[in-house]
Amino acid sequence: MNQDFPQDQYEVIVVDGESRDSTPQIVEEFQRLYPGRIRYLSNPRQTLAPGWNLGIQHSRGEYVIRVDGHSQIPRDFLSSTYRVAQRVPDASCVGGVVETKGTGFWGEVNAYVYSHPFGVGNSKFRTTKKKWEGYVDTVPYGAYKREIFDRVGLFNEELNRNEDLEMHARIRRSGGSFFLSTTVRSTYFVRNTLSAFLKKSYSDGKWTIVASKRGSGVLRWRHYIPLMVVLTSLLLGVASFFSTVALFTLLALIIAYFSILIGSSWGMIKKRGWKYFLPCMLSFFLLHFSRGFGSAASYLSRHYWRGDRVHEEQRYDKNATNIAR
């Protein structure tokens, strides 16, 4: 409600997954403060895709933007997004970069990991610090042209997570494109405990693979790396009992991994001090292997085997940069 964009040019829709905290009361208070400006919808399914679809179906604007509950946007978010959308009218969706923050000790550690290439790969919207813009594979909190949903349909409600990966693959297959500009900025708050961090990472690994079953073009090499690391470690671990070649290969990979792990965690010492160094290494390790185990577990889950895979011709912009969730 504090945007510098003209108030009569945008609407606010809150889709609530039956919150048990004070969310309903807070929204109702804002509705009293801003009569007629906020619509409040209930999402009894409680997962993101049905909530997305409810919001889209009840929206009236030319563009649709979702901002997550773990996020915060600056006052110029809508105006910056709209300026980019007007400059790049051919893009199906435009968005910006995310600054990752956390509160408390583990929140700061996890925020560093989620902003580092060793943690999130070539996720340009998370790692880009300098001024940059161009076509990419996906954007966070993007402004979707409303017409794109008429062309490719709504979000897949069978997916409990990573529904945007599957939707974005569908948009790309239809000839659509995504444009990222660092002039659009938002803040993402990571989980502030190791248990919540692990749960999210495992779930992301699982549902990324499940999403790939729903259509072609969802996955990139970065999505397979955690899975391949886990499977390779297990196979070499077993084989090392029978083969010295497997043993030395496993040791070489462990040394290489921990060398990169130490180098990647070193920057945390400069930012916060030595007490963050080992926890940072642990957070990187848990992120990689929980994602990998989640990806492996997906092949044993009913969610992966339920539903048919849809094969369509893949069409991509050759100038697009691969970026990750």
Q: What is the pLDDT of residues 48-72, one digit of tens each?
A: 889 999 999 999 999 999 888 788 9
Q: Amino acid letter at 63? A: Y
Q: What is the pLDDT of residue 309?
A: 44
Residue 225 domain-assigned (yes or no): yes
Q: Give CA–CA dist 241/251, Å, rounded.
A: 13
Tell me the pLDDT band of 203, cut-offs 50, 70 and 90: confident
| pLDDT at residue 182 in the model | 92
More confident residue, 115 or 58: 58
Q: What is the pLDDT of residue 289?
A: 86
Give the domain extent around 211.
Answer: 193-304
Amino acid 308: pLDDT: 47
Q: Residues 160-170: what's their mean pLDDT?
A: 82
Residue 119 lies in a domain: no
Q: Which residues of 235-253 are buried (b: 16+ CB within 10 A; e: fewer)?
A: ebeeebeeeeebeeebeee
- Quick check: is 284 in a domain? yes
Lowest mean pLDDT among 71-75, 90-94, 211-215, 230-234: 211-215
Let me know if residue 51 belongs to a domain.
no
Q: Is residue 134 part of a domain?
A: no
Judge whether residue 316 has pLDDT over 60: no
- Residue 280 resides in a domain: yes
The candidate with the shortest Cα–Cα distance to 167, out of 178, 177, 152, 180, is 152
pLDDT for res 59 = 92
Position 53 in a domain: no
pLDDT category, 307, cuts 50, 70, 90?
low
Q: Supply the pLDDT for residue 200.
A: 85
- The answer to whether residue 294 sits within a structural domain is yes
Structural domains of the chain, count = 1
